């Protein structure tokens, strides 16, 4: 059971974090080249809306398989220890994304409130910084998870 759960877990991670990397590295620089605030917002929300559906499925799959793996391997005792830094970060990243997805609607309403009057490039700079932050944290988690699992820690 463990190999199957691990394979599905990692597939979910690849689709999810790969998508975050694509949005951060490809979509955001494209946005800066789009003229007009409203066009920017429409394009951005179109991409995020489609991507959010995929992410929700991935977050569910990764959470279920991850929790299952923890139970089978009695990994709960490794949480919040130095050797369990990989799984501890996984849990933190997962909870963080879950909160972002749960409050996504409210989050966007606050960000784009009165967008026409605001300087959109400043808003998109903040959004870009936020995406780089979560991408960096996710990549660090993957790095440490694989490093620790292969005897690095």
Q: How far from 24 is each of 21, 31, 38, 43, 88, CA to CA, in Å? A: 5, 11, 20, 14, 24
The closest residue (CB) to ligand HEM is 66
Shortest CB 46 distance to ligand HEM, Å? 25
Measure CA of the first residue to CA of the last residue in the chain; give whole Å: 25
Identify which of residues 111 and 134 has a Cβ nearer to ligand HEM in the complex: 134
| Residues near ligand HEM, by CB under 6 A | 9-10, 13, 17, 62-63, 66-67, 69-70, 73, 75, 86-87, 90-91, 93-94, 138, 141-142, 145-146, 149
Q: Quote the tokens at residue 105.
A: 């609607």
Q: How far from 81 is each of 1, 86, 99, 111, 116, CA to CA, in Å? A: 25, 10, 24, 37, 48
Shortest CB 115 distance to ligand HEM, Å? 31
Shortest CB 65 distance to ligand HEM, Å? 8
């Amino acid at each position: 059971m463990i190999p199957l759960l691990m394979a599905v877990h990692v597939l979910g991670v690849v689709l999810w974090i790969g998508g975050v990397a694509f949005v951060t590295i490809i979509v955001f620089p494209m946005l800066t080249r789009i003229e007009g605030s409203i066009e920017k917002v429409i394009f951005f929300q179109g991409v995020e809306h489609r991507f959010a559906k995929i992410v929700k499925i991935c977050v569910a799959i990764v959470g279920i398989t991850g929790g299952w793996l923890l139970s089978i391997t009695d990994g709960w005792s490794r949480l919040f220890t130095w050797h369990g830094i990989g799984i501890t970060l996984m849990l933190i990243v997962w909870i963080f994304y879950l909160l972002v997805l749960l409050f996504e609607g409210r989050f966007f309403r606050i960000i784009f409130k009165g967008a026409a009057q605001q300087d959109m490039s400043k808003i998109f700079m903040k959004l870009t910084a936020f995406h780089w932050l979560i991408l960096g944290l996710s990549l660090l988690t993957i790095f440490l998870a694989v490093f620790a699992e292969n005897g690095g820690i």
